[in-house]
Amino acid sequence: MADHIFSFQTTYNLTDNFFQGFQNTSELFFHPEPDSPEASPPPQPVETVRNRKEKQRRQTLDRVVQMINVEDLPGREHAASYMQYKFRRNCKSCTLASSGTAVRFFLAMLKADGRDFSSITRQDIEAFIEQEQDRGLAVRSVRNRTQALYGFIGYLVENDVIDPDILTRRIRMKMPVSLPRAIDPEDIRVLLSVMDHTRDRALFLLLLRTGMRVGELLDLRVADVNLPDKKILIYMGEKNYRGRVVYLGEDAVEATEAWLAIRDSREDMLFYSSQLPSLSYAAVRNRFKNYLEKGGLSGKGYTIHCLRHTFASELLNAGLRLEVLQQLLGHSSLEVTRQYARLTDKTREEEYFRAMALIERGGIHGRY
């Protein structure tokens, strides 16, 4: 194994294959609209969300560790140990994958430059950041990858593998602050009008009216939905593992009732697949993209996450308190929720037009 030398470009190719493999396994098919429950395929064995996520975590860990060993990277023993450490801390599958990518790319860079693993310096971290920037990654992606690398370096310091001085002055990147992107109300009407599949209409209306993340919606079981009380119980949040309750608008209730009336009652998950117990994010994202194209909205830059942004901005415009919105969105920090206040600040808008009207009437320096 040690005699097999991989080039730096091969490292990136392996990573592309790694993520492509995950995408292929998650490319699930939607059922056609069933005429009756009997027309549906036999139900999949019931598997709890927790068990399924644990299996995904284990598969991700094994795959990352295998690739670290195959590539014969410097410090691979410490990298594999770090990934095991992340697994024991109950990090999610996507976190394990992103951390593994950052660590592998950094070690591959050291190998390509002939650098000694035990004498990593701040300059090596700077070189890694420049390398990722040169690859054309977005600023946020480079920052996330750098943070993942610092997690690995902190682990090495704690275990007396490298000098702790490397952490005295961390490299911090200045992040652009952008507004959340909500979908225009007229575009929402167009989008819903072209949704001719009962399940799809229920799925996307639930996202729009509850503000759930896609992963949270796909983890729902039928038993989690309480239509008489118009609420849904999310037992485990997608990002922070915190459960919460979300509520349904009347149109979402009607769409969900229509889907429940024709779905296979033997299936445990609210939205299921013909291949696996639940749908994949990739499948839902592609379905959303198809509806954008069907409605002539594909050129407006909307993504499926914009439904969550639309949910938040519409509620704030309707007078919902920011603290309540924080709970509905499942944000750990109010500052994250506050970004929507910048998007929907009606007080600031009214103050501006009141002042501008005074100026235009000549109340300050006269009309121009």
Residues 77 and 208 in one domain: no
Domain extent for 65: 8-22+46-167
19-28, 78-87, 126-135, 275-284: segment of lowest average pLDDT: 19-28
Task: Say whether both 223 and 126 belong to one domain.
Answer: no
Q: How far apart are CA 113 and CA 148, in angstroms?
A: 21
- Asked whether residue 154 falls in the same domain as residue 290, the answer is no
Domain assignment of residue 15, yes or no: yes
- Asked if residue 174 belongs to a domain, the reply is no
Look at residue 66 and tell me if it is in a domain. Answer: yes
Q: Band of the pLDDT at 117, cuts 50, 70, 90? A: confident
Q: Does position 189 have pLDDT exceeding 90, yes or no?
A: yes
Worst-scoring range by mean pLDDT, 38-47, 216-225, 240-249, 297-306?
38-47
Final residue of a domain: which of 167, 198, 214? 167
Q: Is residue 178 part of a domain?
A: no
Provide the pLDDT confidence category of residue 193 given band limits of 50, 70 and 90.
very high
Tell me, yes or no, whether 265 and 136 share the same domain: no
Backbone angles phi, psi at 152, to 5 degrees: -65, -45
Distance CA 268, CA 297 (A): 34
Question: What is the Rg, in whole angstroms, of the alpha carbon atoms belonging to the chain?
Answer: 25
Reported as a single tens digit per residue, the pLDDT across 162-174 is: 989 999 888 888 8
Q: How far is CA 121 from CA 52, 128, 132, 152, 155, in A?
A: 40, 11, 17, 14, 15
56 and 120 inside one domain: yes
What is the predicted pLDDT for the residue at 131?
Answer: 94
- The pLDDT assigned to 179 comes to 77
The residue-averaged pLDDT of 276-295 equals 89
Mean pLDDT score, 70-87? 93
Domain count, the chain: 2
DSSP string, 175-235: PP-----PPPHHHHHHHHHT---HHHHHHHHHHHHH---HHHHHT-BGGGEETTTTEEEES
Assess whether 107 and 251 both reside in one domain: no
| Model confidence, pTM | 0.68
Same domain, 87 and 206: no
